Amino acid sequence: MKPSTKDQSKGKMHELKGQVKESVGKTTRNVSMEQQGRGEKITGKVEKNVGKAEKKLEK
């Protein structure tokens, strides 16, 4: 698997994990967990975009 594909996959995983944490935090009114979820979701989006950029550079 190419590094760009790995970054995109890892990014998507972090994004989904962040969405779950954020939802659970909202449901349980746990502000800390909600913030962690948002942070992880942002990290995932960044990783995904890095993977996309690397893929364009590979061409």
Q: What is the pLDDT of residues 36-55, one digit of tens each?
A: 999 999 999 999 999 999 88
Q: What is the pLDDT of residues 1-13, one digit of tens each?
A: 788 888 899 999 9
In order, the DSSP letters of 3-57 are HHHHHHHHHHHHHHHHHHHHHHHHHHT-HHHHHHHHHHHHHHHHHHHHHHHHHHH
Q: Which two tokens stand for residue 36?
A: 């962690």
- Give the Cα separation of 37 and 32 in Å (integer): 9
pTM (2 decimals)? 0.83
| Other C-beta atoms lying within 10 Å of the C-beta of residue 27 | 10
Q: Which two tokens stand for residue 57?
A: 């550079």
